């Protein structure tokens, strides 16, 4: 069997079945790469051919499956093994990366989800603080806010904080911690924060296309980078670099790259357990 592979509109091969399985085992190729061999009607992601496993055992029924990719012309026999041709006639839908049909979430929905998460935290903590504070303190804060146009943001913050008793600040921080804990639980359970649920996007593993694991979604992406954003002096720089990286290939931020995740449009199949 002669198998051709394609990635980013570049085609390579042919390879034998043994070569393909060896490259899968060594992660030289991944399940999101496209594959075609004689008997198939169209290019398919390797993950769809292997059933999510890192080995391909061909069967007659898999070649009849139709994928979201366009039907190829038969690959020419003079393709050089190991070299991806830029002139291949196969057109690949760059938004599809997994056999389960997942598509990359666009920048707008990711920003929208992040804004919702931030507003959720701000609204809940603000409401809680105003419920706890005495009325005379609220009146003083309101008076300061009315004069905000003549004050810098830093001066305004200092005046407001000076009016809030330490015990109230601690209570508000605890409420903020509860909100953050709920968000982390949602990410562990669904691969989604509140904002991502509203915008119907999900954090998934970059190789399997399934919901990201605990270390990926909760620890590396969420806890670690939220702590980094709050570091003195460098926190703002880390945030800016992380935000700018959102506009790179596959809309992957720094925390996506560190955690080896992607953010995709949410599908129920992404919550399935990996096949053994």
68 lies in the same domain as 182: no
Q: Is the pLDDT of residue 67 over 50?
A: no
Angle formed at CA 141 by CA 138 and CA 145, multiple of 5 degrees: 135
pLDDT value of residue 130: 85
Looking at every residue in the chain, the average pLDDT score rounds to 81
Last residue of a domain, one of 48, 77, 99: 99
Burial track 247-258 (b if 16+ CB lie within 10 A, e otherwise): eeeebbbbbbee
Q: Note whether residue 43 is domain-resident.
A: yes
Give whole-number Cα distances, 24 to 20, 167, 259, 276, in Å.
6, 57, 21, 16
Which range is most confident: 6-10, 66-70, 83-87, 133-137? Answer: 133-137
More confident residue, 233 or 59: 233
Selected residue with higher pLDDT from 16 and 155 = 16
Q: Are 231 and 224 in contact (CB under 8 A)?
A: no
What's this model's pTM, rounded to 2 decimal places? 0.63
| pLDDT score recorded for residue 81 | 38
pLDDT band at 153 (very low <50, low <70, confident <90, very high): low
Residue predicted with more confidence, 209 or 100? 209
- Does residue 263 fall inside a structural domain? yes
Residue 186 lies in a domain: yes
Weakest mean pLDDT among 38-52, 64-78, 163-177, 233-247: 64-78
The residue ranking higher by pLDDT, 97 or 194, is: 194
| Region 124-138 average pLDDT | 88
Cα–Cα distance, 226 to 254 (Å, whole number): 12
Q: What is the dihedral of CA 151, 154, 155, 157, to 10 degrees?
A: 110
1-32 pLDDT, tens digit per residue, is 888 888 876 788 888 888 888 888 888 888 88
Do 118 and 254 reside in the same domain of the chain?
yes
Question: pLDDT of 222-244, one tens digit each?
Answer: 999 999 998 988 999 999 999 99
- Please check whether residues 254 and 117 belong to one and the same domain: yes
Q: Given pLDDT bands bounded at 50, 70 and 90, which one contains residue 60? A: low
Domain residue limits at 84: 1-99
- Tell me the per-residue pLDDT of 166-183, one tens digit each, with 9 for 90 and over: 888 899 999 999 999 999
Please tell me whether residues 226 and 138 are part of one structural domain. Answer: yes
* Number of domains making up the chain: 2
Number of residues written out for the chain: 276
255 in the same domain as 134: yes
Of 54, 72, 99, the residue at which a domain comes to its end is 99
């Amino acid at each position: 069997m002669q198998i051709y592979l394609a990635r980013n509109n570049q085609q390579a091969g042919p390879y034998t079945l043994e070569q393909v399985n060896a490259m899968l085992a060594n992660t030289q190729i991944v399940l999101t790469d496209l594959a075609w061999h004689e008997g198939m009607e169209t290019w398919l992601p390797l993950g769809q051919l292997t059933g999510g496993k890192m080995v391909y055992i061909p069967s007659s029924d898999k070649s009849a499956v139709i994928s979201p990719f366009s039907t190829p012309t038969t690959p020419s026999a003079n393709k050089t093994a190991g070299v991806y041709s830029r002139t291949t006639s196969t057109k690949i839908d760059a938004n599809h990366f997994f056999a389960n049909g997942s598509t990359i979430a666009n920048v707008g929905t990711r920003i929208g989800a992040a804004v919702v998460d931030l507003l959720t935290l701000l609204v809940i903590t603000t409401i809680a603080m105003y419920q706890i504070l005495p009325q005379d303190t609220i009146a003083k804060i309101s008076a300061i806010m009315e004069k905000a146009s003549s004050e810098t943001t830093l001066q305004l913050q200092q005046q407001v904080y000076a009016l809030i008793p330490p015990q109230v600040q601690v209570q508000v921080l605890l409420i903020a911690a509860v909100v953050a804990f709920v968000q982390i639980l949602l990410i562990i359970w669904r691969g989604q924060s509140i904002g991502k649920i509203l915008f119907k996007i999900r954090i998934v593993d970059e190789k399997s296309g399934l919901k990201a694991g605990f270390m990926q979604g909760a620890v590396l992406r969420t806890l670690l980078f939220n702590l980094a954003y709050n570091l003195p002096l460098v926190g703002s720089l880390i945030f800016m670099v992380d935000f700018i990286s959102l506009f790179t290939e596959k809309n992957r931020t720094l925390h996506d790259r560190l955690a080896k995740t992607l953010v995709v449009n949410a599908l129920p199949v992404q919550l399935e357990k990996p096949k053994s």
